Protein backbone atom coordinates (compact mmCIF):
# COMPACT_ATOMS: atom_id res chain seq x y z
CA UNK A 1 0.00 0.00 0.00
CA UNK A 2 2.89 2.36 0.70
CA UNK A 3 4.05 2.19 -2.94
CA UNK A 4 0.53 2.91 -4.19
CA UNK A 5 -0.05 5.95 -1.96
CA UNK A 6 3.39 7.55 -2.25
CA UNK A 7 4.46 6.78 -5.84
CA UNK A 8 3.10 10.02 -7.31
CA UNK A 9 -0.38 9.07 -8.53
CA UNK A 10 -2.11 11.16 -5.84
CA UNK A 11 -0.66 14.02 -3.82
CA UNK A 12 -2.68 14.17 -0.58
CA UNK A 13 -1.20 11.24 1.34
CA UNK A 14 1.64 11.28 3.84
CA UNK A 15 3.32 8.73 6.06
CA UNK A 16 3.99 6.26 7.36
CA UNK A 17 4.19 7.51 10.93
CA UNK A 18 5.71 5.64 13.88
CA UNK A 19 2.70 3.29 13.99
CA UNK A 20 2.93 2.55 10.27
CA UNK A 21 -0.22 4.53 9.39
CA UNK A 22 -0.84 6.69 6.33
CA UNK A 23 -2.98 9.81 6.62
CA UNK A 24 -4.67 11.70 3.83
CA UNK A 25 -7.80 13.31 2.44
CA UNK A 26 -9.85 11.62 -0.28
CA UNK A 27 -13.52 11.72 -1.15
CA UNK A 28 -13.98 14.87 0.91
CA UNK A 29 -13.12 13.13 4.22
CA UNK A 30 -9.98 12.39 6.19
CA UNK A 31 -8.57 8.87 6.34
CA UNK A 32 -6.06 6.93 8.37
CA UNK A 33 -4.94 3.66 6.78
CA UNK A 34 -2.76 0.91 8.14
CA UNK A 35 -1.75 -2.36 6.56
CA UNK A 36 -0.93 -5.47 8.58
CA UNK A 37 0.16 -8.31 6.31
CA UNK A 38 -2.83 -8.83 3.96
CA UNK A 39 -5.26 -6.96 6.19
CA UNK A 40 -6.18 -3.26 5.91
CA UNK A 41 -7.47 -1.30 8.89
CA UNK A 42 -8.88 2.18 8.36
CA UNK A 43 -10.41 5.10 10.21
CA UNK A 44 -12.69 7.59 8.48
CA UNK A 45 -13.80 11.02 9.68
CA UNK A 46 -17.37 10.53 8.37
CA UNK A 47 -20.04 7.83 8.56
CA UNK A 48 -20.71 8.10 4.83
CA UNK A 49 -18.47 8.91 1.87
CA UNK A 50 -20.18 10.26 -1.24
CA UNK A 51 -23.46 8.78 -0.03
CA UNK A 52 -22.12 5.28 0.48
CA UNK A 53 -20.25 3.01 2.87
CA UNK A 54 -16.69 4.10 3.76
CA UNK A 55 -15.48 0.48 3.48
CA UNK A 56 -16.86 0.11 -0.03
CA UNK A 57 -15.54 3.51 -1.10
CA UNK A 58 -11.97 2.97 0.16
CA UNK A 59 -11.84 -0.53 -1.38
CA UNK A 60 -12.80 0.93 -4.74
CA UNK A 61 -10.38 3.85 -4.32
CA UNK A 62 -7.43 1.53 -3.59
CA UNK A 63 -8.30 -0.74 -6.52
CA UNK A 64 -8.85 -3.89 -4.47
CA UNK A 65 -11.36 -5.17 -7.05
CA UNK A 66 -8.85 -4.79 -9.88
CA UNK A 67 -7.52 -8.17 -11.16
CA UNK A 68 -3.90 -7.10 -10.79
CA UNK A 69 -2.56 -10.54 -9.84
CA UNK A 70 -3.69 -12.17 -13.09
CA UNK A 71 -2.19 -9.36 -15.17
CA UNK A 72 1.12 -9.47 -13.26
CA UNK A 73 1.35 -13.24 -13.68
CA UNK A 74 0.90 -12.88 -17.44
CA UNK A 75 3.88 -10.50 -17.68
CA UNK A 76 6.12 -11.87 -14.93
CA UNK A 77 8.61 -13.24 -17.49
CA UNK A 78 8.36 -10.29 -19.86
CA UNK A 79 11.83 -8.99 -20.85
CA UNK A 80 10.82 -5.39 -20.09
CA UNK A 81 8.23 -5.64 -17.31
CA UNK A 82 9.59 -8.66 -15.46
CA UNK A 83 12.05 -6.79 -13.23
CA UNK A 84 9.70 -3.88 -12.33
CA UNK A 85 6.96 -6.38 -11.44
CA UNK A 86 9.35 -8.29 -9.20
CA UNK A 87 10.54 -5.19 -7.35
CA UNK A 88 7.21 -3.31 -7.15
CA UNK A 89 4.91 -6.21 -6.33
CA UNK A 90 1.54 -4.94 -5.08
CA UNK A 91 1.65 -1.52 -6.75
CA UNK A 92 -1.91 -0.64 -7.79
CA UNK A 93 -3.67 2.18 -9.60
CA UNK A 94 -5.76 4.48 -7.41
CA UNK A 95 -9.26 5.36 -8.59
CA UNK A 96 -9.31 9.05 -7.84
CA UNK A 97 -12.19 11.45 -8.34
CA UNK A 98 -11.97 12.92 -11.87
CA UNK A 99 -12.25 16.59 -10.90
CA UNK A 100 -9.55 16.40 -8.23
CA UNK A 101 -7.28 14.35 -10.49
CA UNK A 102 -7.67 16.76 -13.43
CA UNK A 103 -6.88 19.89 -11.43
CA UNK A 104 -4.01 18.22 -9.55
CA UNK A 105 -2.25 17.23 -12.77
CA UNK A 106 -2.76 20.67 -14.25
CA UNK A 107 -0.98 22.06 -11.18
CA UNK A 108 1.69 19.35 -11.45
CA UNK A 109 3.22 20.36 -14.79
CA UNK A 110 7.00 20.72 -14.50
CA UNK A 111 7.11 20.15 -10.72
CA UNK A 112 8.56 17.35 -8.59
CA UNK A 113 6.23 15.10 -6.58
CA UNK A 114 7.40 16.66 -3.30
CA UNK A 115 6.66 20.18 -4.54
CA UNK A 116 3.29 19.13 -5.96
CA UNK A 117 2.21 17.77 -2.56
CA UNK A 118 3.14 21.07 -0.93
CA UNK A 119 1.36 23.12 -3.60
CA UNK A 120 -1.84 21.03 -3.45
CA UNK A 121 -1.89 21.29 0.35
CA UNK A 122 -1.63 25.09 0.22
CA UNK A 123 -4.23 25.27 -2.54
CA UNK A 124 -6.74 23.21 -0.52
CA UNK A 125 -6.11 25.36 2.56
CA UNK A 126 -6.84 28.44 0.45
CA UNK A 127 -9.94 27.33 -1.43
CA UNK A 128 -11.21 24.08 0.14
CA UNK A 129 -13.79 23.53 2.86
CA UNK A 130 -12.32 22.85 6.32
CA UNK A 131 -12.85 19.37 7.78
CA UNK A 132 -13.97 18.79 11.37
CA UNK A 133 -10.98 16.54 12.10
CA UNK A 134 -8.43 18.92 10.59
CA UNK A 135 -7.26 19.66 7.11
CA UNK A 136 -9.28 20.76 4.10
CA UNK A 137 -11.26 19.01 1.40
CA UNK A 138 -10.28 19.45 -2.22
CA UNK A 139 -12.11 22.52 -3.66
CA UNK A 140 -15.13 21.78 -5.83
CA UNK A 141 -15.51 23.43 -9.24
CA UNK A 142 -18.14 25.81 -7.85
CA UNK A 143 -15.66 27.10 -5.27
CA UNK A 144 -13.14 28.08 -7.95
CA UNK A 145 -15.60 29.90 -10.24
CA UNK A 146 -15.40 33.29 -8.45
CA UNK A 147 -11.59 33.20 -8.25
CA UNK A 148 -9.31 35.28 -10.46
CA UNK A 149 -6.07 33.99 -11.99
CA UNK A 150 -4.06 36.24 -9.67
CA UNK A 151 -5.42 34.33 -6.65
CA UNK A 152 -4.28 30.93 -7.99
CA UNK A 153 -1.03 32.16 -9.48
CA UNK A 154 1.12 31.32 -6.39
CA UNK A 155 0.05 27.66 -6.70
CA UNK A 156 0.88 27.30 -10.42
CA UNK A 157 4.63 27.91 -10.25
CA UNK A 158 3.84 31.58 -10.94
CA UNK A 159 2.19 30.83 -14.31
CA UNK A 160 -0.76 33.20 -14.73
CA UNK A 161 -1.97 31.45 -17.90
CA UNK A 162 -2.10 28.10 -16.10
CA UNK A 163 -4.15 29.62 -13.28
CA UNK A 164 -6.53 31.12 -15.84
CA UNK A 165 -6.94 27.73 -17.58
CA UNK A 166 -7.84 26.01 -14.30
CA UNK A 167 -10.48 28.61 -13.52
CA UNK A 168 -11.95 28.37 -17.03
CA UNK A 169 -12.10 24.58 -16.72
CA UNK A 170 -13.88 24.96 -13.36
CA UNK A 171 -16.47 27.21 -15.01
CA UNK A 172 -16.93 24.73 -17.87
CA UNK A 173 -17.46 21.83 -15.43
CA UNK A 174 -19.80 23.89 -13.23
CA UNK A 175 -21.85 24.95 -16.28
CA UNK A 176 -21.94 21.28 -17.39
CA UNK A 177 -20.25 22.10 -20.67
CA UNK A 178 -18.16 18.98 -20.06
CA UNK A 179 -18.85 16.01 -17.80
CA UNK A 180 -15.70 14.23 -16.69
CA UNK A 181 -17.64 11.21 -15.45
CA UNK A 182 -19.20 10.79 -18.90
CA UNK A 183 -15.75 10.11 -20.36
CA UNK A 184 -15.66 6.71 -18.64
CA UNK A 185 -18.03 5.33 -21.25
CA UNK A 186 -16.11 6.60 -24.28
CA UNK A 187 -13.30 4.80 -26.13
CA UNK A 188 -9.93 5.86 -24.76
CA UNK A 189 -8.80 7.85 -27.80
CA UNK A 190 -12.10 9.74 -28.00
CA UNK A 191 -11.95 10.53 -24.29
CA UNK A 192 -8.38 11.84 -24.70
CA UNK A 193 -9.48 14.10 -27.56
CA UNK A 194 -12.34 15.45 -25.44
CA UNK A 195 -9.97 16.33 -22.58
CA UNK A 196 -7.44 17.88 -24.92
CA UNK A 197 -10.17 20.21 -26.19
CA UNK A 198 -9.80 21.96 -22.83
CA UNK A 199 -7.10 24.60 -22.87
CA UNK A 200 -4.02 23.55 -20.87
CA UNK A 201 -4.48 19.77 -21.17
CA UNK A 202 -2.07 17.96 -23.47
CA UNK A 203 -1.91 14.24 -24.28
CA UNK A 204 0.16 13.26 -21.23
CA UNK A 205 -2.08 15.04 -18.69
CA UNK A 206 -5.16 13.71 -20.48
CA UNK A 207 -3.84 10.14 -20.23
CA UNK A 208 -3.02 10.62 -16.54
CA UNK A 209 -6.60 11.75 -15.88
CA UNK A 210 -8.02 8.84 -17.89
CA UNK A 211 -5.80 6.24 -16.21
CA UNK A 212 -5.99 7.40 -12.59
CA UNK A 213 -9.64 8.46 -12.38
CA UNK A 214 -11.71 7.24 -15.36
CA UNK A 215 -10.87 3.50 -15.54
CA UNK A 216 -9.27 3.83 -18.98
CA UNK A 217 -6.49 1.26 -18.61
CA UNK A 218 -5.34 1.57 -22.22
CA UNK A 219 -4.31 5.19 -21.56
CA UNK A 220 -0.51 5.28 -21.52
CA UNK A 221 0.99 8.46 -20.01
CA UNK A 222 4.39 9.08 -21.59
CA UNK A 223 6.64 11.22 -19.43
CA UNK A 224 10.44 11.27 -19.59
CA UNK A 225 10.77 8.10 -17.49
CA UNK A 226 8.35 6.04 -19.59
CA UNK A 227 9.86 7.46 -22.79
CA UNK A 228 13.34 6.29 -21.75
CA UNK A 229 12.08 2.78 -21.07
CA UNK A 230 10.22 2.61 -24.38
CA UNK A 231 13.20 3.92 -26.34
CA UNK A 232 15.50 1.45 -24.62
CA UNK A 233 13.49 -1.65 -25.36
CA UNK A 234 11.42 -0.96 -28.47
CA UNK A 235 13.29 -0.28 -31.66
CA UNK A 236 10.36 1.41 -33.43
CA UNK A 237 10.12 3.98 -30.62
CA UNK A 238 13.87 4.55 -30.68
CA UNK A 239 13.76 5.50 -34.37
CA UNK A 240 10.89 7.96 -33.93
CA UNK A 241 13.47 10.61 -33.10
CA UNK A 242 11.70 11.78 -29.92
CA UNK A 243 13.77 13.92 -27.57
CA UNK A 244 14.94 12.83 -24.13
CA UNK A 245 12.29 14.76 -22.19
CA UNK A 246 9.07 14.84 -24.23
CA UNK A 247 7.88 13.57 -27.63
CA UNK A 248 5.85 15.62 -30.07
CA UNK A 249 2.12 14.96 -30.21
CA UNK A 250 2.45 12.75 -33.30
CA UNK A 251 5.31 10.79 -31.73
CA UNK A 252 3.31 10.48 -28.50
CA UNK A 253 0.37 8.82 -30.23
CA UNK A 254 2.69 6.42 -32.08
CA UNK A 255 4.31 5.41 -28.77
CA UNK A 256 0.87 4.78 -27.24
CA UNK A 257 -0.10 2.55 -30.17
CA UNK A 258 3.17 0.64 -29.84
CA UNK A 259 2.60 0.18 -26.09
CA UNK A 260 -0.88 -1.21 -26.67
CA UNK A 261 0.48 -3.65 -29.23
CA UNK A 262 3.32 -4.89 -27.02
CA UNK A 263 1.73 -4.66 -23.53
CA UNK A 264 -1.94 -5.26 -24.23
CA UNK A 265 -5.12 -3.35 -23.33
CA UNK A 266 -3.89 -2.71 -19.76
CA UNK A 267 -0.69 -1.03 -20.87
CA UNK A 268 -1.47 1.94 -18.61
CA UNK A 269 -0.72 -0.20 -15.56
CA UNK A 270 2.67 -1.01 -17.09
CA UNK A 271 3.41 2.70 -17.53
CA UNK A 272 3.13 3.24 -13.77
CA UNK A 273 5.57 0.40 -13.13
CA UNK A 274 8.01 1.92 -15.65
CA UNK A 275 7.59 5.35 -14.06
CA UNK A 276 8.30 4.30 -10.48
CA UNK A 277 11.00 1.75 -11.31
CA UNK A 278 13.10 4.23 -13.26
CA UNK A 279 12.62 6.91 -10.63
CA UNK A 280 13.96 4.48 -8.04
CA UNK A 281 17.02 3.82 -10.17
CA UNK A 282 17.61 7.55 -10.55
CA UNK A 283 16.78 8.95 -7.09
CA UNK A 284 18.63 7.68 -4.03
CA UNK A 285 16.37 9.63 -1.67
CA UNK A 286 13.31 7.97 -3.16
CA UNK A 287 14.95 4.56 -2.71
CA UNK A 288 15.45 5.37 0.96
CA UNK A 289 11.86 6.60 1.31
CA UNK A 290 10.21 3.64 -0.41
CA UNK A 291 12.82 0.96 0.24
CA UNK A 292 10.78 -0.60 3.05
CA UNK A 293 7.86 -1.20 0.66
CA UNK A 294 9.79 -2.96 -2.10
CA UNK A 295 9.03 -6.66 -2.39
CA UNK A 296 12.67 -7.34 -3.32
CA UNK A 297 15.74 -5.11 -3.52
CA UNK A 298 16.87 -3.51 -6.73
CA UNK A 299 19.52 -5.63 -8.41
CA UNK A 300 23.10 -4.27 -8.36
CA UNK A 301 23.23 -4.66 -12.14
CA UNK A 302 20.18 -2.43 -12.58
CA UNK A 303 21.73 0.24 -10.36
CA UNK A 304 25.02 0.11 -12.28
CA UNK A 305 23.38 0.15 -15.69
CA UNK A 306 19.92 1.73 -15.38
CA UNK A 307 17.47 1.77 -18.27
CA UNK A 308 17.71 5.54 -18.49
CA UNK A 309 21.10 5.35 -20.19
CA UNK A 310 19.53 4.56 -23.51
CA UNK A 311 20.08 1.77 -26.02
CA UNK A 312 23.29 -0.21 -26.06
CA UNK A 313 25.37 0.14 -29.24
CA UNK A 314 25.21 -2.78 -31.63
CA UNK A 315 28.73 -4.07 -32.27
CA UNK A 316 28.15 -5.64 -35.67
CA UNK A 317 25.93 -3.06 -37.35
CA UNK A 318 26.66 0.62 -37.06
CA UNK A 319 24.10 3.33 -37.61
CA UNK A 320 25.96 4.41 -40.70
CA UNK A 321 26.00 0.99 -42.32
CA UNK A 322 22.26 0.62 -41.73
CA UNK A 323 21.61 4.02 -43.33
CA UNK A 324 23.53 2.97 -46.43
CA UNK A 325 21.57 -0.27 -46.68
CA UNK A 326 18.28 1.62 -46.48
CA UNK A 327 19.52 4.07 -49.10
CA UNK A 328 20.45 1.24 -51.47
CA UNK A 329 17.00 -0.32 -51.09
CA UNK A 330 15.38 3.05 -51.78
CA UNK A 331 17.51 3.44 -54.89
CA UNK A 332 16.37 0.07 -56.16
CA UNK A 333 12.70 0.92 -55.49
CA UNK A 334 12.98 4.14 -57.47
CA UNK A 335 14.57 2.27 -60.36
CA UNK A 336 11.85 -0.37 -60.26
CA UNK A 337 9.11 2.32 -60.32
CA UNK A 338 10.62 4.16 -63.27
CA UNK A 339 11.38 0.98 -65.14
CA UNK A 340 14.03 2.47 -67.39
CA UNK A 341 17.35 4.20 -67.46
CA UNK A 342 18.57 3.05 -64.04
CA UNK A 343 19.61 -0.59 -63.44
CA UNK A 344 18.19 -2.12 -60.26
CA UNK A 345 21.55 -3.62 -59.30
CA UNK A 346 23.36 -0.26 -59.40
CA UNK A 347 26.02 -0.40 -56.63
CA UNK A 348 26.28 2.47 -54.20
CA UNK A 349 29.92 2.90 -55.14
CA UNK A 350 28.79 4.18 -58.56
CA UNK A 351 27.03 7.09 -56.89
CA UNK A 352 29.65 7.54 -54.23
CA UNK A 353 32.31 8.31 -56.78
CA UNK A 354 34.47 5.28 -56.07
CA UNK A 355 34.55 5.63 -52.28
CA UNK A 356 34.89 2.37 -50.35
CA UNK A 357 31.54 1.84 -48.56
CA UNK A 358 32.31 -1.60 -47.16
CA UNK A 359 34.29 -0.32 -44.17
CA UNK A 360 32.38 1.42 -41.39
CA UNK A 361 35.11 2.04 -38.85
CA UNK A 362 36.80 5.38 -38.27
CA UNK A 363 39.86 4.32 -40.22
CA UNK A 364 37.78 3.96 -43.42
CA UNK A 365 38.78 5.99 -46.47
CA UNK A 366 36.06 8.59 -45.78
CA UNK A 367 33.84 9.25 -42.74
CA UNK A 368 30.41 7.67 -43.08
CA UNK A 369 28.69 11.01 -42.56
CA UNK A 370 30.51 12.43 -45.55
CA UNK A 371 29.75 9.33 -47.62
CA UNK A 372 26.02 9.56 -46.84
CA UNK A 373 26.03 13.27 -47.71
CA UNK A 374 27.80 12.53 -51.00
CA UNK A 375 25.47 9.67 -51.95
CA UNK A 376 22.29 11.47 -50.94
CA UNK A 377 23.25 14.59 -52.86
CA UNK A 378 23.90 12.78 -56.14
CA UNK A 379 20.90 10.51 -55.68
CA UNK A 380 18.39 13.32 -55.01
CA UNK A 381 19.81 15.41 -57.86
CA UNK A 382 19.31 12.47 -60.25
CA UNK A 383 15.69 12.03 -59.14
CA UNK A 384 15.00 15.79 -59.52
CA UNK A 385 16.38 15.71 -63.05
CA UNK A 386 14.24 12.73 -64.02
CA UNK A 387 11.09 14.40 -62.62
CA UNK A 388 11.96 17.76 -64.28
CA UNK A 389 12.00 19.50 -60.91
CA UNK A 390 8.55 18.31 -59.82
CA UNK A 391 9.01 18.25 -56.04
CA UNK A 392 5.81 16.32 -55.30
CA UNK A 393 6.67 13.58 -57.77
CA UNK A 394 10.28 13.43 -56.59
CA UNK A 395 9.20 13.20 -52.94
CA UNK A 396 6.82 10.34 -53.79
CA UNK A 397 9.60 8.43 -55.56
CA UNK A 398 11.96 8.97 -52.64
CA UNK A 399 9.36 8.03 -50.04
CA UNK A 400 9.65 11.43 -48.34
CA UNK A 401 7.24 14.16 -47.39
CA UNK A 402 7.50 17.12 -49.78
CA UNK A 403 8.55 19.43 -46.93
CA UNK A 404 11.34 17.01 -46.00
CA UNK A 405 12.56 17.00 -49.59
CA UNK A 406 12.65 20.82 -49.63
CA UNK A 407 14.77 20.83 -46.46
CA UNK A 408 17.12 18.23 -47.92
CA UNK A 409 17.56 20.28 -51.10
CA UNK A 410 18.63 23.19 -48.91
CA UNK A 411 20.81 21.18 -46.50
CA UNK A 412 22.62 19.31 -49.29
CA UNK A 413 23.35 22.46 -51.28
CA UNK A 414 21.14 21.48 -54.23
CA UNK A 415 19.33 24.79 -54.60
CA UNK A 416 21.42 25.88 -57.59
CA UNK A 417 20.92 22.50 -59.27
CA UNK A 418 17.18 22.66 -58.64
CA UNK A 419 16.91 26.17 -60.12
CA UNK A 420 18.92 25.01 -63.15
CA UNK A 421 16.64 22.00 -63.70
CA UNK A 422 13.51 24.17 -63.50
CA UNK A 423 15.03 26.80 -65.82
CA UNK A 424 15.91 24.16 -68.42
CA UNK A 425 12.39 22.77 -68.32
CA UNK A 426 10.86 26.22 -68.79
CA UNK A 427 13.33 27.04 -71.59
CA UNK A 428 12.21 23.95 -73.48
CA UNK A 429 8.59 24.94 -72.96
CA UNK A 430 7.59 21.54 -71.65
CA UNK A 431 5.45 20.61 -68.70
CA UNK A 432 6.08 18.11 -65.96
CA UNK A 433 4.33 15.33 -67.86
CA UNK A 434 5.80 16.00 -71.27
CA UNK A 435 8.33 13.43 -72.58
pLDDT at res. 315: 42
Give yes or no for residue 294 having a pLDDT over 70: yes
Give yes or no for residue 365 having a pLDDT over 80: no
Residue that finishes a domain, picked among 309, 328, 352: 309
Residue that finishes a domain, picked among 248, 276, 309: 309
Query: Into how many domains does the chain fold?
Result: 2
Residue that finishes a domain, picked among 259, 285, 309: 309
| 245 occurs within a structural domain | yes
Residues 115-125 have pLDDT tens digits of 999 999 999 99
Banded pLDDT at 321 (limits 50, 70, 90): very low
| 41 occurs within a structural domain | yes
| 162 occurs within a structural domain | yes
Residues 60 and 101 in one domain: yes
pLDDT at res. 353: 46
Residues 260-283 have pLDDT tens digits of 998 999 999 999 999 999 889 888
Q: How many CA atoms lie within 13 A of 239 on its CB side?
A: 7
Residues 260 and 406 in one domain: no
| 267 occurs within a structural domain | yes
Residues 303 and 354 in one domain: no
Q: Give dist(CA 203, CA 201) in Å, integer.
A: 7
Give yes or no for residue 239 having a pLDDT over 90: no
Q: Which of 249, 99, 136 is nearest to 189 (CA)?
A: 249
Q: Give dist(CA 5, CA 94) in Å, integer.
A: 8
Residues 360 and 252 in one domain: no
Distances from the Cα of 135 to the Cαs of 66, 120, 124, 326, in angstroms? 30, 12, 8, 62
Per the CB < 8 A criterion, the answer to whether 193 and 271 are in contact is no
Residues 346 and 277 in one domain: no
Residues 188-199 have pLDDT tens digits of 999 999 999 998
Residue ranges making up the domain that contains 54:
2-309
Residues 234 and 353 in one domain: no
Give yes or no for residue 312 having a pLDDT over 50: no
Per the CB < 8 A criterion, the answer to whether 295 and 90 are in contact is yes
Residues 336 and 246 in one domain: no
Q: Mean pLDDT throughout 103-119?
A: 90
14: enclosing H helix or E strand:
strand 13-14
Amino acid sequence: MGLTLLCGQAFRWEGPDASGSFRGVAGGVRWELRQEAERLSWTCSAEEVRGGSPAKWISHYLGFDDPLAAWAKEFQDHPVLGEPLRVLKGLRLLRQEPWECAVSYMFAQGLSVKVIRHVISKFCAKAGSPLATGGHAFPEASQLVPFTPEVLRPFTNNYLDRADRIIRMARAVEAKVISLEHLKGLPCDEARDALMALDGIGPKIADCILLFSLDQYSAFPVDRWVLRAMKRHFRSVRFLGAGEEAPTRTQYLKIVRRARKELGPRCGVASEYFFLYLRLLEDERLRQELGAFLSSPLSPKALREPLRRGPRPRPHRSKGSRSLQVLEKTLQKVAARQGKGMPTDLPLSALAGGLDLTRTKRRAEAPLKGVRHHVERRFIREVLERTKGNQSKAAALLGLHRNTLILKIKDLGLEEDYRRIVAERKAKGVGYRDP
